[in-house]
Each structure stands twice: as structure tokens, then as C-alpha cells.
Structure 1
Amino acid sequence: MQQGLRQPRWLIFPALLLLSLPLLAADASDDIAFFSMSVGLLGGLAIFLFGMETMSDALKRVAGTKARNLLAKLTTNRFSGMLTGAGLTAVIQSSSVTTVLVVGFISAGLMSLPQAIGVIMGANIGTTMTAQIIAFKVTKAALGMVGVGFMMFFASKKENVQQYGNMIFGLGLIFLGMNLMSDAMAPLRSYEPFINLMAQMDNVLLAILIAAVFTALVQSSSATTGIVIVMAAQGFIPLETGIALSMGANIGTCVTAILAAIGKGREALQTSTVHVLFNVLGVVIWLPLISYLGQGSIAMSPAYPELDGVQRLAAEIPRQIANANTLFNVINTLIMLPFAGAFVWAVQKLIPPTPADKDAVTPITPKYINDDFLETPDIALEQTQLEVARLGRRVCRMLSQLPPLAPDAKTPAQLAKVRATFKEIEALEEEVDQLHVAILFHLGKLRRGPLSAEQSTRQITLVGMTDHLENIADLIINGLLPLSNKALNDQLSVSATMRQTLDTIQDMVNGLLLDCVNGIRRNDPDLARRAVEAKQELYTLLDAVLAHQALHLSDDQPNRLRVFRYEMEWGHILKNIYGMTNRIAKMQLQEG
């Protein structure tokens, strides 16, 4: 399992210890099976958290590319961004993942900060879906879901079916863990020291703090809210305490966004700050109004007047907490969404952009790829493809800026201009080399995690494309550029007919390479097909060069043999560049 978004696993154990503090504080001398209860509680919690992780991983893999497309296309304004964030988070069951994806897109320049605010606000609504599912008490189906999900995963060879099986399996584990925790805590209903201890949880500030710390450790507000509902189902906590705990979970989940922004640009840090401000401000607004929020959730939740005492509380409060959690996040979003511009202004004041140093020369860095995407391979591959196209555009610029063989430069100013162009091409080649290394390193890290057969094939294809583009850059910098430089220094001239033919070939190869790179960026097979189908036309032009050389080889002209050698080598290198372009295009067509 990859570690892209998660903190190291050992942090789960302090979280388990935090939850078991009420038991550890209890008097073990009383008539209660303290050890077996602790084992049941912690074991159930471990299964619950593992189920959350399994289900979330499966959903992310199923919704990978769709998630990226949704975020890229449906965030044109703050309202559509809010709906997109809510819908996406409801599907993948993790507001942390949605926020981390947004931070990654901000870093890649694919999304602006105002667009991101709506998505972040909507993510808080989407994450309440888990609490709603848990509150429906379908725990009796837990073992059935585990069995069905297990069979789907192991019996099917189709990747999608396996991931849906994993999703059902994880959901079953969630309910199974809830059952184990509920059974383990049942004796505590009549255990006086524990009841007295839980009475202290009426302090809403303490409840918010405990939930925030626990959520920061497990990095899942849904997990915290689920555990709160389990405790409420045993009648251990009143409604207002349950609401306060769910509010604390909203604050704790901000830690993931902060971690994701570390080492990124200022806009990524601003995005995570918006998440913190939004969640903390929401809690501050509702802190004195928890009782009203509780009354609203009671009004919209089913009642069980036929029950009394603890049984009634256990039946009613879980649904009330889930509804209060949804109500809290929906109202907060509706209140604050119109003030998205104010959030942008505030974070830009708190974290101003770094002033650009015009004299500083910084090495090129990847724009579209970062480790935040590694947990969703489909998105990581899409982003890497954009980075490969970015590398390819630099290779295209190298070829398009390259002067023709034996450039017509006589005056000192003309010579200086051509040599300045040579320097620009060398600088572009340095950037190509840096991006080449970064892309291959990123694809190598992606390979460490589990990939489907289709994802593995695509990863290999991207490695091949990256290598071919880098080889084309080498042909330009080590072949064409030295030839042009030698011809310039030797003041060689090429006949008008040959000049026209060579320039036509160079323009054609450059155009086909550009089509190929644009095909990578746009996922357009027609552009790739154009590069493949031009083979015969290009080879006809190259044959014309050879025929012309054969006819004029014996011409009595100064430096004729040297010019002949340069012309033939120039055409041969252009032919090799087209050959690699053709291979890249075929890779695209095979992938499609």
C-alpha cells in the first residue's frame, strides 16, 4: 500500500490508546472484564479503520480518472465547484483526498485558488455521507458484505469488479468493526466509574479537542464520526457532546491538507489555509449554537417514543448526530460560499506570494506531477502524461528554433544572433534532461504500488515516450546543432534547390513532432495517426535529396564533398528524428 497521503502507520496506535483512555482510567478491581473489553474495543476499532481504508482505496481507484476530469471541468464557478467537491467526496468517501487533489492541481497550475474554495467547502458536505450510512444501522449485514466482497475480489479477473468487491469488503469490515466495538462496550452501560468519566465529556471544548487530535492521527473525519455514532448507540454520550465531537473531527481533518501543502508553492499553502479557516470558523460560529443545531437534528430525525431510558437514546441519538453533522456542514457551506472572495483576500494577506527575483536562475521543476497523486494511479498517470507533453514541447522548440544547415549569416550581428539561438537550444536541452529524470523517477515511484494491467501498460508506454523524446533532444544537440555550427564557421553555402528541399524536410519533421506532442497532451489519436501516415511523403523527400546529390556530386564547386557530407548527415538525422516520432505516435495509437 502506498503512503502518499497517510502519515506513518505507527500514529494509529496513539489514536487507539486515546480512544481507550476511559477504560484505562476505570477501576480494574470492579467486576468487569477489563482486558477482554479492551481487546474487543481496540480490535474492533482496528477492523473499522482498516475497512475505511480498504473502501476508500477501492473507491479512489474506481473513480480515479473521473475524479480528475470532474475537478478539471466542473469548477468553473464557486457553486459548481461546491457541488463537484460534495459529489466527488461522497463517492470516494474522503474529504482529505479531495483536498489533497485540489492542492496538487493548484501546484500544477490546473486550478486557481478561487475555483478551489468551492471544492473544499463542498468536500465537507460529501464526507457526511459516511456518517449517514453508518447511522442506518445495517450492521447485521456486515459478514454478508465481507463474504460477497471477498468473493468478488478473488473470483473475478476484471479490475473494476475486483475494486467494487474491495469496496463492499471494506464497507462490511466497517460494520463488523462497529459490531465488535459495540459488543465490547455494552457492559459499560452499567459501569459507574465509566459513566462518571463520560459525564465529564459534557465539556464541549474538551470534546472538540479530543476529536480533533484523534482525527489528525487517523486522518479520517469519517472514522471519528463513525466511532462517535457507535458510542452514541450505546447511550454513552448525549447529543450535544456527539455534535461537538463531530465538529472536532472537522478541524482534525485539516491536518492532511496542511501536510499536502508542505514543500509546495504559495498557492498550495493558501489552499490548505482556506481549508483550516473554513472548518475552524464554522466551529466557532456554531459553538454557542450547539443546542439549536441539536434541536434541528431532532426535528428531522425519527423518534422512538415506545422506548425509554438508555434504549431510546441508543436508538435516536446516532441518527440525530449524523443529521446534525450534515446540517452543520451544509449550512456552513451555504453561509460562507458567497464570501469565497473574502477567503481568497484573507489568505493572500496571511500568505502573500513570494516576490519574483528577476536575476535568479532557478532550475526547471515538474509542473503537473507530485507525490500527492500516487495513491490514485489513474490521476497520477494522467498528470504524468501532461508532464511528458510539457517535455515534448521543449523538444519541439529546440527543433523549430534550430537554424537551417549553412545559415545565411555574414555580418557580425547576424552571426551573433545565430550563436545566441544555439545557446537557447542548449538551455532547452538542459531543461529536457531535468524533466526526463523527474518523470522517470516519478513513474518509478508509481510502480512501487499496486497497478492494474492497464495502468502498468500505460506506465511502460509513458516511460518509452519520455525516453524517445529525450533521444530526439540528444539528436538535435549532438547532431544537428554541431553540423549547423560547423557549416557556419566554415562559411559553407548550399544550393537553392537543396536549401528548399532540406528546409521542407525540417519543417515537416518539426510539424509531425509537434502533432505527436499535442496528441499526447490532448489524448488525440488523430494527431498521432497523422504522424504515422506521413512516412511515405517524408521518405520521398529524402530520396529526392539523395537523387539530387547523385546528379551534382561531380560538380566543380568549392568544398563540394564537405557540403555533400553535411547535407547527407543532416537528412539522415532528420530521418532518425522522424523515426522516433513515428514510434511515439504508434505507442499512442496502441494505448488508445
Structure 2
Amino acid sequence: MRALRRRSGDRLPPWLPVLIGLLLACAAFAVLGDDDVTDDIDWLNMGMGLFGGLALFLFGMEQMADALKAVAGDRMKDILARLTTNRVMGALTGAFVTAVINSSSVTTVLLVGFISAGLMSLAQSVGVIMGANIGSTFTAQLIAFKVTKAALVMIGIGFLMMFVGKRERIRQYGAMIMGLGLVFFGMSVMSDAMAPLRTYEPFLDVMEEMENPLIGIAVAALFTGLIQSSAATTGIVIVMASQGLVNLPTGIALAFGANIGTCATAALAAIGKPREAVRAAVVHVLFNVAGVLVWVGFIDQLAEFVRWISPQYPDLSGKERLAAEVPRQIANAHTMFNVANTLLFLSFTGQFARLAEWLVPDKPLEEEDLVVRAKYLDDVLLTTPSLALDRVRLETLHMGERVQEMMERIMPAILSGNKEQLHDIERMDDDVDMLHAQIIDYLGKISRLTLTETQTGELIRLMEAVNELENIGDVIETNLIVLGHERIDEGVSISQPTREVLTNFHYAVNRAVECAVQAVAQNNQLAARTVISMKQEINRIAESAAAHQAQRLVAEEPNRIRTYTIEVDIIEKLKRIYYFAKRMAKTVDSEESMEEA
């Protein structure tokens, strides 16, 4: 059960309750069925074989996808960010990335992050979403290969690599091979379990009903929405076709329904998310539904074209020929359908984007929530730890922007501001605390996943960096703001020369905080070394400021003792802020950190 739960922290895979429900329903039918039926077919054994095979199939797909994401997740993110320069390149990139990470939902979530960060427009993302549909057909093509005889060999090889391999990458490749073996073995078990249905008239009558494309589309859409995997639905259809239970037009209609049903994943993922996420989900739904509507009247023509380009076995007849030809034909039809739709709609990416923006307009400013929320953290990405950790970096930048704003405003408020300005800065720290709590909670979810040693080290460093950033906010709120209030309450006046000294010191510390945030958010080694190398500069400025304060102490000025105390406290708190900034930088540049220590 622990393996099943690693997909998204504490949540079970969405298909598991469906699988258990179907298994219980089948068992109940076996017990309550009439004698004539049970004499012909052993429903209990068939149900156990069918749904046990389905469990192996789904678990194998999940394990294979997790291993692929662990091996290639970082590179896929970089490829997606760099190669979406135009709509054609975007579609090709979306197809490639989705085929590798085996999840169009993850691709869509990555796009939302790029849009939110201003790295990509919604119109640019439309082409990638269209290409992602092509990439999602890769699994169906893989399943259509009849290599079930090699399934146990693949499971054995994968198991050996997982438990004997010393390098993490070898173990991940082993998990991928073992997962693929489980997919094919589950297919074999389901296929064998379905064999009695080839002569069972009530079931054949139901499948004849599926030849009505609207019924087939509706059933497949509902089933896909429940298990949240179009690849799994298409795989099951291919397994049924391998027993001659599904003809090509029916298989195409079911594949169309799977394309619509997979929109449920994107729609659910967009609930409660920023406008960019909702619009990306709307584009996904519009494209998939429009594609099905265009082709629903041409299923027979598509079937004829697919028969022409697919392998044929004229020496066979009846169900044997269907079983030999239809699985590959369904996979090809699924791919052809998505390729044709992408080519058809690729010229209308701008129109899709504008329609999505019209359907999901920006909220008026007065309707925006006053409570700050994380912009980049998304539970969908928890299936890919490397991508989830990358989102934590982006959210750290979001949190860092709040802290930097506090830093920029605090010195003018201390030196010459009023109580309202100080209260505004104090309220900003509440936002920082909320973002800190959300980031730590998300890191906690990531920590419960299966992580590599590198990912574990990165998680620990990010947690330390976020804590240091929160410490900077606390120093501003609990120390510097208090000093500002004391300056106002006690009527302390800070001279112009002292203001210049404190402002220059504040500028240097503020620059260190800015570079530290940049270092963590972008994993920027140069920025990290810049912060660490500023130690001597900070000490020199602090010593110069201290000397200036000593001169002020002997001057004949009113309240000079209290003024001196406040000014020295300001210098000490700025030095402490630099200390936290330096520790943040050390989480990025471990080599410099060890040398500094």
C-alpha cells in the first residue's frame, strides 16, 4: 500500500477505489448470479483474473512513469522551457515531453508555471497542449506490441537491476523495465480472463451497443474520468480487441471518449488554482472536445484509412483476424486522430487562447483575495519529485520578493517614517509567514515520496534556505520595526550624516539578500558566491558605522545616549540579516560553504 501511496503523498491513486469497487461488484455478481450463467462461465475466477490483471497493468504503468520522470524529469523541464519558440516547435516539444514523462497533466502544469512566471504566453502554450495529446498516444503504441511472452523476463531483469544495482540511475532504469513488464503481464492476465466472453452472448450484445459511437464515447469518457488515465482506458480497449471482442469502429469511439475523459484530470487540477491554470485547463478541454466533434461523423472513414496503413492478416478469419489486426489498428487510429487534430487546429492557437481568456477573465482588483497564496506549488507535480522541487525554488522567489520589499521599505520607515508605515511592513511579514508555512508543507509532501540521494539533499537545502528567508522577515518584524517605534515614541532625531551611514549599510545588506534569493531560486552559483564574498565588505562598513557612532557619543547632542543605542541596534540587526543571507547562499554553493566554515 505504501508503494501505491507514493504517487501524491498521502492520497491513494484515483483508480484504486474504482478498481476495488469493480472487483467487489464482480464478486457479488458471481455469488448472486443464476445457475445457468455460472455453469457456462466461472465469473469469480474470471473477475479475479480480469481485475487482478488490471491492477498489475495500472501499477506497472505508474511504476514505469515514475521511473521515467525520475530519470528524465529535469531534462524534460529544460527542453519544454527552451524549445517552445513557435507553435510547430511547441507541438513537437509537447509531444516529446509527454511521451517521456507519460503524463499530459504534468506537461500542462509545467506550462502553467511558465505562464505564471512570464516565460511563456498562453498562446504559446496552446501548441504544446496540442502536442501533449500526441505524446499521450505513445503508451497505446507500446501496448499494441505483442510482447507479452517477454513480460516475465522483463519483470525479472527489472527486479534484478532494482535490487542489485548500486547506482541510482541503474535502479531507476530497472524500475522502468519492471514496470513495463508488469504492464504486459497484466495485459496477458486480462486477455486470458476475457477469453470466455468471446462466446458469451449477453456480453457480445453489450459490445454491439458500443458500436453506436455516442454510447462508446460516453462510456469511455466516464471510465477515463474515474481512473484519470486515458492511456489505461486505451490499453484496456486494446486488450479487449486482442480477444476479438472489439471491432475497429468501436475501438475508435472508445479512444475518442478517452480523449474527452482525460480532460477531467486537468479540470480537477485547476480547481482553486490561479487564472493561468484554469485557462490552460480550458484550452485542454476545448481542444479535445472540438477534435472529437470534428471526427465523430467520420469514424468509418478513419477506420478504412487505418486498415490501409496497418498490418493485415488475410490468412486468418473471424475473431482470430480481429484479434490479430485490431489492437495495432486502434493504436494507430488513436495516434492519427491526435496528429490530425493538431495539424488542423495548430493555426488557431491564438483564437484558442483568446477564447480561454474570454471564458476565464481576470478578476477585478477589488475581488482579488487579500490572503497571499502560493503561486507555483501544485500537488500534480508530486508525481515527479524533480519538477516539484523546481517549483519550490520558484515559490522561494515569490516569498523572497515579499522579504525584499520589506527590506527596501524598512530603513526609510525607521529613519523618518510614521507608525502606519511601520504597521504596513509588519503586516507584510504575515504574508511571508504564510508562504513559509505553505512551502514547508509542500516540502513535507515531497519528503514522503521516493527520492534519490541528490533529490533528498536538494530538499534539505531548500528547507534550510526557506527557513533563513523567514528568519530575515522575523528580524525585520520583531527587531527593526520595534526600533522604529522607539524612535517615534521617544522623539529621537537621527542626524543626516548618520542617516547616510545607515542607508549605505542597509543598501549593502539589501543587495546581499537580493543575491541570496536569486541564488536559491535559480540555483545560481555565481550569485551565491557574491553573497559569501561580501563578508569583508559588510564587516568593513559595520566597523566604519561603529566608529561613526563612537564619535556621535562624545558629541554634545540631546538624547545622545538613546540615539546611540538605537543606531547601534540597527547596525547589529542588519549584520544579523546578512548572516541569514549568507547562510541561504551556502545552501546553493556547498563548496564555498565548507571553505567559509
After superposition, the Cα gap between the structure-2 partners of 1:507 and 1:352, relative to the gap in structure 1 and judged at 3 Å, is: closer
Maintained 8 Å contact 2:404/2:514: yes
Moved more, 100-109 or 177-186: 100-109
Maintained 8 Å contact 2:23/2:48: no
RMSD over aligned CA atoms reads 2.9
Please name the residue that 1:294 is paired with.
Answer: 303
Please name the residue that 1:457 is paired with.
Answer: 457
Please name the residue that 1:561 is paired with.
Answer: 561
Please name the residue that 2:374 is paired with.
Answer: 366
Deviation at 1:179, TM superposition (A): 1.0
User: 2 CA distance for matches of 1:294 and 1:130?
Assistant: 20
SS of 1:588's equivalent in the other structure is coil
User: 1 CA distance for matches of 2:552 and 2:299?
Assistant: 93
SS of 1:298's equivalent in the other structure is helix
After superposition, the Cα gap between the structure-2 partners of 1:231 and 1:69, relative to the gap in structure 1 and judged at 3 Å, is: same
User: 2 CA distance for matches of 1:268 and 1:370?
Assistant: 10
User: 1 CA distance for matches of 2:371 and 2:199?
Assistant: 66
Q: Structure 2: which 5+ residue stretches go unaligned?
A: 1-5, 593-597
| One-letter amino acid of the structure 1 residue matched with residue 567 of structure 2 | E
Give identity over the alignment, percent: 48
| One-letter amino acid of the structure 2 residue matched with residue 3 of structure 1 | S
Question: Within the alignment, does 1:181 sit opposite 2:157 as a pair?
Answer: no
Q: Structure 1: which 5+ residue stretches go unaligned?
A: 410-416
Deviation at 1:192, TM superposition (A): 4.5
Matches within 5 A, 1:174-573: 174-357=183-366, 362-403=370-411, 407=415, 418-494=418-494, 498-550=498-550, 553-573=553-573
Moved more, 310-319 or 24-33: 24-33
Q: Deviations over 1:520-552 (max 9, x none)?
A: 222211111111112122212322334445566
User: 2 CA distance for matches of 1:330 and 1:67?
Assistant: 21
Q: Give the counterpart of 2:19 among 12, 17, 27.
A: 12
Question: Within the alignment, does 1:134 sit opposite 2:153 as a pair?
Answer: no
User: 1 CA distance for matches of 2:279 and 2:44?
Assistant: 47
Deviation at 1:72, TM superposition (A): 3.0
Moved more, 21-30 or 44-53: 21-30
| One-letter amino acid of the structure 2 residue matched with residue 486 of structure 1 | E
Deviation at 1:294, TM superposition (A): 0.8
User: 1 CA distance for matches of 2:181 and 2:51?
Assistant: 17
Maintained 8 Å contact 1:55/1:166: yes
Q: Deviations over 1:250-271 (max 9, x none)?
A: 1111111111111223432232
| One-letter amino acid of the structure 1 residue matched with residue 226 of structure 2 | L
Moved more, 330-339 or 227-236: 227-236
SS of 1:304's equivalent in the other structure is coil
After superposition, the Cα gap between the structure-2 partners of 1:388 and 1:506, relative to the gap in structure 1 and judged at 3 Å, is: same
User: 1 CA distance for matches of 2:273 and 2:430?
Assistant: 23
SS of 1:402's equivalent in the other structure is helix
Question: Within the alignment, does 1:144 sit opposite 2:153 as a pair?
Answer: yes
Deviation at 1:354, TM superposition (A): 2.9
SS of 1:202's equivalent in the other structure is coil
- Deviating 4+ runs (over 6 angstroms): 17-26
Moved more, 34-43 or 139-148: 34-43
TM-score, structure 2 normalization: 0.90
After superposition, the Cα gap between the structure-2 partners of 1:20 and 1:119, relative to the gap in structure 1 and judged at 3 Å, is: farther
Maintained 8 Å contact 2:71/2:172: yes
User: 1 CA distance for matches of 2:414 and 2:226?
Assistant: 66
User: 1 CA distance for matches of 2:238 and 2:293?
Assistant: 22
User: 2 CA distance for matches of 1:267 and 1:27?
Assistant: 57
SS of 2:345's equivalent in the other structure is helix
Question: Within the alignment, does 1:170 sit opposite 2:175 as a pair?
Answer: no
Moved more, 296-305 or 142-151: 296-305
User: 1 CA distance for matches of 2:383 and 2:143?
Assistant: 25
Maintained 8 Å contact 1:364/1:434: yes
Question: Within the alignment, does 1:3 sit opposite 2:8 as a pair?
Answer: yes
| One-letter amino acid of the structure 2 residue matched with residue 518 of structure 1 | Q
After superposition, the Cα gap between the structure-2 partners of 1:17 and 1:354, relative to the gap in structure 1 and judged at 3 Å, is: farther
Q: Deviations over 1:104-156 (max 9, x none)?
A: 65566665432332222111111111111111211111011101111111122
Q: Deviations over 1:387-418 (max 9, x none)?
A: 112222222222222236973x5xxxxxxx65
Maintained 8 Å contact 2:49/2:193: yes
Moved more, 527-536 or 10-19: 10-19
After superposition, the Cα gap between the structure-2 partners of 1:323 and 1:482, relative to the gap in structure 1 and judged at 3 Å, is: same
| One-letter amino acid of the structure 2 residue matched with residue 40 of structure 1 | G
SS of 1:63's equivalent in the other structure is helix
Maintained 8 Å contact 2:402/2:428: yes
Deviation at 1:222, TM superposition (A): 1.1
SS of 1:403's equivalent in the other structure is helix
Q: Deviations over 1:319-377 (max 9, x none)?
A: 1111111111100111112122232333344343333317x771211112132222222
| One-letter amino acid of the structure 2 residue matched with residue 368 of structure 1 | Y
